[in-house]
């Protein structure tokens, strides 16, 4: 049976999840919290790198700033879109005021910018606030996309 590497949203432990697993309960082997938690994760350097490089599932990164109005307006849509992709797409966030080096490293110079990664590689990006539907369609396309 095929298994996927999924980084725990709570402790960044790498878990192997069977593809066919029933989705009601999937707990982290390290911290025992749910791997199905879809709340977008506020990342620091360490968790950002763990998520983009260790996940077999696609990862969306919202580069935002708390003082950017379009960013704040998009936040609930980002959360809603994330809620329908448990174990399929991981949604994370980088506060660019706290981590400007990460934004610089990825050439982010407009906010919000949302960047999609798969197996550590950037697939595509948008530099504008996106609706829930747009984020959902993008997520579906990332799941289908092969490297």
31 catalytic residue (yes or no): no
Sign of the four-CA dihedral 128, 40, 11, 66: positive
Strand order in the sheet with 113-118: 41-42, 90-95, 59-64, 113-118, 121-126
Least CB distance to Zn ion at residue 14 (A)? 9
68 catalytic residue (yes or no): yes
Q: Of these residues, 8, 28, 43, 71, which one is catalytic?
A: 71
Q: What does the binding site for Zn ion look like in residue numbers (CB under 5 A)?
A: 8, 10-11, 13, 28, 30-31
Least CB distance to Zn ion at residue 98 (A)? 23
Of 74 and 92, nearer to Zn ion (C-beta) is 92
Of 27 and 97, nearer to Zn ion (C-beta) is 27
Tell me the C-alpha to C-alpha distance, in Å, between residue 13 and each of 16, 56, 61, 141. 10, 13, 19, 27
Of 14 and 72, nearer to Zn ion (C-beta) is 14
Least CB distance to Zn ion at residue 9 (A)? 8
Q: Which residues are catalytic?
A: 68, 71
């Amino acid at each position: 049976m095929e298994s996927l590497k999924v980084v725990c949203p709570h402790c960044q432990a790498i878990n192997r999840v069977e593809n066919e697993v029933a989705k009601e309960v999937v707990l982290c082997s390290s911290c025992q919290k749910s791997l199905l938690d879809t709340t977008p994760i506020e990342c620091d350097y360490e968790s950002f790198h763990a998520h983009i490089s260790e996940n077999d599932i696609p990862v969306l990164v919202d580069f935002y700033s708390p003082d950017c109005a379009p960013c704040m307006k998009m936040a609930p849509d980002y959360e809603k879109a994330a809620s329908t992709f448990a174990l399929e797409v991981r949604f994370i966030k980088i506060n660019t005021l706290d981590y400007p080096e990460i934004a610089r490293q990825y050439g982010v110079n407009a906010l919000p910018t949302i960047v999609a990664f798969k197996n550590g590689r950037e697939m595509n990006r948008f530099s504008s606030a996106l609706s829930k539907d747009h984020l959902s369609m993008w997520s579906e396309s990332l799941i289908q996309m092969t490297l």
